[in-house]
Amino acid sequence: MKIVAIRETTLDMAEATRNAAVGFGRMTASVAVVEVETTAGHRVRGYAIDSPGRYASGAVLRERLAPRVLAADPAAYLDASGTLPDPWKIRALAMRDEKPGGHGERAAAMGLLDGAIWDLIGKLQDKPLWAVLRGPKLGTPQVPVYATCGFYRGEDDLEKLRDELERAVDLGFDTVKIKGGAIDLDADRKRIDAALEYLGGKAKLALDCNATMTLNDARLFLSAIADLPIAWVEEPVDPLDYDAHRALAAEFAVPLGTGENLYSAADARNLLRHGGLRPERDLLQFDIGLGHGLVEYLRIVAEAEDAGWLRENFVPHVGYRFALQVAAGLGLGRHEVGPFQRIAYRPAMAGACALPGDAPGIGWEADPAFASLFAALDR
Ligand code: MG
Rounded Cα gap, residues 268 and 304, in angstroms: 8
- Residue that is last in its domain, among 127, 154, 169: 127
Rounded to two decimals, what is the model's pTM? Answer: 0.97
* Structure letter (DSSP) for residue 40: T
Judgement on whether residues 287 and 215 belong to the same structural domain of the protein: yes
Side by side, which strands form the sheet with 43-49? Answer: 2-12, 28-37, 43-49
Amino acid at 107: A
Computed on alpha carbons and rounded to an integer, the radius of gyration of the chain in Å comes to 20
Residue 137, pLDDT > 80, answer no
What was the pLDDT predicted at 379?
67
Span from the CA of 334 to the centroid of ligand 1 (angstroms): 14
Span from the CA of 211 to the centroid of ligand 1 (angstroms): 8
Judgement on whether residues 210 and 243 belong to the same structural domain of the protein: yes
- Judge whether 179 counts as a catalytic residue: yes
Residues spanned by the domain of 31 = 2-127
Please report which confidence band the pLDDT of residue 186 belongs to, taking 50, 70 and 90 as the band edges.
Answer: very high
Whether 377 maps to a domain, the answer reads no
Residue 22, pLDDT > 80, answer yes
Span from the CA of 358 to the centroid of ligand 1 (angstroms): 29
For residue 1, give every residue at least 6 positions away whose Cβ sits within 8 Å of its Cβ, in sequence order, or none. Answer: 36, 37, 38, 39, 74, 78, 82, 83, 84, 85, 124
Using DSSP's 3-state secondary structure scheme, residue 275 falls into: coil
**Number of domains, the chain:** 2
Q: Which of 89, 103, 123, 179 is catalytic?
A: 179
pLDDT digits 0-9 by tens, 247-282: 999 999 999 999 999 999 999 999 999 999 999 999
Q: Which of 89, 177, 317, 335 is catalytic?
A: 317
Span from the CA of 198 to the centroid of ligand 1 (angstroms): 22
Span from the CA of 54 to the centroid of ligand 1 (angstroms): 12
Judgement on whether residues 40 and 166 belong to the same structural domain of the protein: no
Share of the chain above pLDDT 90, in %: 90
- Judge whether 127 counts as a catalytic residue: no
Residues with CB under 5 A from ligand 1 (ion): 208, 234
Looking at residue 185, which CATH number applies to its domain? 3.20.20.120
Looking at residue 6, which CATH number applies to its domain? 3.30.390.10
Is-contact 129 326, C-beta < 8 A? yes
